Amino acid sequence: MANAEFLKAMFREYYLKNDVILPPRFTKREYGFMFFDKNYVLRHKAFFSKREIKRFLVSEVPKHAYYSTAYYSDPKNKDMEKKGWLGADLVFDLDADHIPETEGKRYEEMLQIVKREAEKLVEDYLLGDFGFDEKDLQIAFSGGRGYHIYVRSSRVHRLGSNERREIVSYITGESTDIFKFLIRREEIKRKRKRTLYLLYPPEFGGWYGKISREIVKISRSLLSLYEEYGKDTVVEEFNGVLKNKKLSRRIVGDLFKKTSENTMKIEHLISQEQSQKLQIFETDELRDAFLMYIKEKIRIRGEADEPVTTDIHRLIRLIGSLHGKTGFIVLPLTLNEFKNFNPLIDAIPQNFKEGESKIMAEKKVEIELNGENYRIEGEECVPNYVAVFLVARGMADFISRC
Amino acid sequence: MIDIELLAKYPFLPEAREYVASIRIDELFSPIYEDVRDYAKNWIKSSFENIHLPFLRGEDRILAFYTAKLYLIAIQDPIVIQRFANHFRDSLESMLLSEEENIVDLVASGLGIDFRVAGEDIKRMNLEYRNYLVFRMIHFIDFVKSASRISGDAFRLINYPLKDGWVPVNKETFVKILREAFVRNFTREIEEKRGDAKILRRYVGNDIREILEIKDKFISRYSSEELGAVKSDAFPPCIKSILVKLRNGVNLPHQARFFLVTFLHRIGMSNEDILKLFATAPDFREDMTRYQIQHITGKISGKEYEVPKCETLRAYGLCVRDVYKDKLCQKDWMTHPLLYYKLKKEWLSKRSQSSE
Ligand code: SF4
């Protein structure tokens, strides 16, 4: 109980001093809340003024606050059919849970991986292939383990689920065979038939050119990983995606083997300006596994089994509210802010940085927050943001203020 | 000024409005326009019989199209609306395929499609590498709006060399996109004018009855009230929602049809009974549908397809548990619609026993 009261007090202070950021047409949205001291989910709320929302947040102090990506003619109606769907933002919800490489990683590293995924989505897909304008995009740190990316162009509002699904299939490459984006050639060499795959020109649109461009880019970063940390790290990198240690080892063995001209095969993948480069692999199996890896690196993961984008009645975290399991702000970010964003520093509310509280951690915890390392065991006075974070995550109990 | 014969071919274009703007409703329903009204009525009816009426020329066709639209606004029956729209769509497609480029462009603009002419570099590259002649570049949002209603690889966004929002398509695809855009605009307009239905009905009462009779006859040829031994009360919400859509003449995506057929087959419904359910689909054709059902249920292929599980259905957007707030569906262990059906059926029969 003390825990909930502590968090509630901290959250209340935050809501008193800060305003949440309301979405466009905020009176037409449905809001939903979860609380520290009640078990139910409050849904189908509507607000008619900014003050009304503020009043609600300060008096009820929700643990989690959400709003609908859709807007409705009657947002408080409980009957979905009668709510009167008018349109919805196009939203991508990227979460560490759905990205295999984050498995077993520390929170900080996990966030780093999701961030790269989000960057890819924004740069390569939304601004690149889809040609959206930077001003149509809104990025938000989810407060937890991911990012929300909104497209708020009038063009997308009326898209239905099926239409959104086309967009999702495009960015996730789901159930799509990567060989479809390569040029297939049958060749007969020494009386044996072989299938060759050639690359499309890099300037070609869609997945076709993307594969050519990404092979160069990804190979380059594999090479620098190799030079900096050695072979094993590269094997780990492949294994994180392919989940097959033996195969990963063989790929790395092949890629970093010196050829007759005393260069490594991977250098061919980087430098050669030609469509033939997939022929360098020792076997078709290695080539195909490498392509699998490339595909995973190109496509957007993180959304896999939760169809946030296609669900046009979805609730999503209110920007500017606090995440009840971390105490972080669901922070809006411009593209530039996003690039330099470090959630473990930037998403900490100002008022959490003032004052200290005594907490008790049963098990030893190590955490990096606000640029400092904390190692806590037993009872200790820590800055409030550390207290909030650990209490909210259930890793420590609140004892008293210091 | 657009030639009137051209507008007669494409009477939905905004420019055609001039020809009807000056006619008052009561004039249109006076004896002077009787032939136009007859044609309009038969036009709608013909969409159930899959026949094409002789082509009217000039102003008459513009007026007949307008009148047909008024009938549909008055009727507000989704099956009739879809049926007519699809019927018109098919002739629209074949006309457009044989048109000059500038006419196709004109129709595209009239339908509100965002497109541009492709640069030489894109044309050359597509021809060289993907072996198709680029006709126009279409904005991907307009592309998916139409393409999501059409099955086949040529309509999946991921298969295109999309760049800066533009999808290079060949003429056939472009025309198909236009054709679907027509259906979308047309049905939306009729729905939006729902408010006018009451006034219109005063003028068109008898004609409407005739049209609805044709529709009922068409449907009753196939449908049966009974769903046989299956217990429709026990259907999971995803199946129910597909059935409602079907009954309302909504064109179902392929996966929805597939799911419905596998499900009904598995719970013991006969293929003939399944067929009847599809009679209200806007593109219903008995032979085609029968073939598809037999294929899915293994009569033809020998391969009986499995009923997809909840997870798959969710990925296809067919799961509606969040919309309907169904208690059973909210359970963690609810993983398969057949499981839902089995449990609900048991529960229902227990309940009816105990209330006896
Ligand atoms: S949870 Fe399963 S049974 Fe329920 S609606 Fe979704 S798909 Fe159907």
Asked whether B8 and B62 are in contact (CB, 8 A), the reply is yes
From B255, which residue of chain A is nearest by alpha-carbon distance? A162
Report the alpha-carbon distance of residue A72 to residue A17 in Å, rounded. 30
B237, amino acid identity:
P
Rounded to 5°, the CA angle A368-A371-A375 comes to 35
The model's pLDDT over B106-152, given as tens digits with 9 standing for 90+, comes to: 999 999 999 999 988 888 888 888 888 999 999 999 999 999 888 78
Rounded to 5°, the CA angle A41-A46-A48 comes to 150
In sequence order, the 6+-apart residues with CB closer than 8 A to the CB of A112 are none
- Out of A19, A37, A89, A93, pick the active-site residue: A93
Q: Closest by alpha carbon to A294, among A186, A178, A201?
A: A178
Please choose from B244, B321, B331 the residue to mutate so as to test ligand 1's pocket, defined by most ligand atoms within 8 A of CB: B321
| Contacts with A87 from chain B: Cβ below 8 Å | none
Asked whether A191 and B146 are in contact (CB, 8 A), the reply is no
Please report, for residues A63, A289, A386, the alpha-carbon distance to residue A397 in angstroms, rounded to integers and kept in the order given. 17, 47, 12
Report the alpha-carbon distance of residue B229 to residue A327 in Å, rounded. 55
DSSP state of A124: I
Question: Is the model's pLDDT at B226 over the cut of 90?
Answer: no
H or E element, residue A388: helix A384-392
Whether B194 and chain A come into contact, CB under 8 Å, resolves to no
Q: What is the CATH number of domain A2-172+302-345?
A: 3.90.920.10
Residue entry with tokens 């905004």: B14
Q: What are the average pLDDT values for consecutive 10-residue runs of chain A, which has 402 residues?
A: 91 96 94 91 93 96 94 90 88 85 82 90 94 93 93 90 87 87 85 85 93 92 94 93 93 87 85 79 91 92 60 86 96 90 94 94 91 92 96 94 88
At B229 the pLDDT is: 56
Report the alpha-carbon distance of residue A144 to residue A139 in Å, rounded. 14
Joined tokens for residue A341 = 């964003």
Please choose from B329, B342, B344, B345 the residue to mutate so as to test ligand 1's pocket, defined by most ligand atoms within 8 A of CB: B329
Q: Where are the alpha helices (DSSP H) in chain B?
A: 4-9, 17-21, 25-28, 34-49, 58-75, 78-97, 101-110, 120-129, 140-147, 171-192, 197-220, 237-247, 254-266, 271-277, 286-296, 310-315, 321-324, 327-330, 337-355
Report the alpha-carbon distance of residue A56 to residue A206 in Å, rounded. 46
Q: Closest by alpha carbon to B280, among B81, B88, B111, B132?
A: B81
Task: Let me know if A284 is a catalytic residue.
Answer: no
- CB atoms under 10 Å from CB of A201, counted, come to 14
| Contacts with A130 from chain B: Cβ below 8 Å | 140, 162, 165
Q: Specify the residue with its C-alpha closest to ligand 1, atom 8.
A: B238
Asked whether B183 and B85 are in contact (CB, 8 A), the reply is yes
Query: Ligand 1 mean position to B130 CA, how many Å?
Result: 40
Task: Specify the higher pLDDT residue, B325 or B164.
Answer: B164
| Contacts with A305 from chain B: Cβ below 8 Å | 311, 314-315
Task: Let me know if A305 is a catalytic residue.
Answer: yes
Please say whether the dihedral angle defined by the alpha carbons of residues B17, B19, B24 and B29, taken in this order, is positive or negative. Answer: negative
Burial of A37 (0-12, 13-18, 19+ CB in 10 A): exposed
Task: Let me know if A89 is a catalytic residue.
Answer: no
The helix-helix angle for B171-192 and B140-147 (nearest 10°) equals: 80
Over pLDDT 90: what percentage of chain B?
A: 41
DSSP state of B157: G
A45, amino acid identity:
K
**Closest residue to A183, CB basis, from B125, B129, B166:** B129
In sequence order, the 6+-apart residues with CB closer than 8 A to the CB of A247 are A238, A289
Rounded to 5°, the CA angle A237-A239-A245 comes to 135
Report the alpha-carbon distance of residue A162 to residue B145 in Å, rounded. 9
CB contact under 8 A, B141 and A173: no
Please give the backbone phi and psi of residue B77, each rounded to the nearest 5 degrees, phi first.
-110, 115
In sequence order, the 6+-apart residues with CB closer than 8 A to the CB of A71 are A25, A28, A29, A86, A87, A88
Q: Where are the domains of chain A?
A: 2-172+302-345, 178-296, 355-401
Partner A, chain B 316-355, Cβ-Cβ below 8 Å: 316-317, 322-324
Asked whether A118 and A300 are in contact (CB, 8 A), the reply is no
Residue entry with tokens 């915890």: A365
Q: Could you please report the per-residue DSSP string of A330-341?
A: --EE-HHHHHT-
Report the alpha-carbon distance of residue B282 to residue B86 in Å, rounded. 7
At A304 the pLDDT is: 43
- Put simply, whether the predicted model's pTM sits higher than 0.90 gets the answer no
Joined tokens for residue A121 = 């989505």
**Closest residue to B157, CB basis, from A128, A167, A180:** A167
- CB atoms under 10 Å from CB of B53, counted, come to 11
In sequence order, the 6+-apart residues with CB closer than 8 A to the CB of B68 are B40, B41, B43, B44, B84
Whether A157 and chain B come into contact, CB under 8 Å, resolves to no
Residue entry with tokens 């890819």: A120
Joined tokens for residue A198 = 């050639």
Q: Which residues pair with B115 in a beta bridge?
A: B138
* ipTM, interface predicted TM-score of the complex: 0.88
Task: Specify the higher pLDDT residue, A54 or B325.
Answer: A54
Q: Closest by alpha carbon to B141, among B154, B157, B153, B130?
A: B157
- CB atoms under 10 Å from CB of B206, counted, come to 9
CB contact under 8 A, B162 and A176: no
Question: Is the model's pLDDT at B228 over the cut of 70?
Answer: no
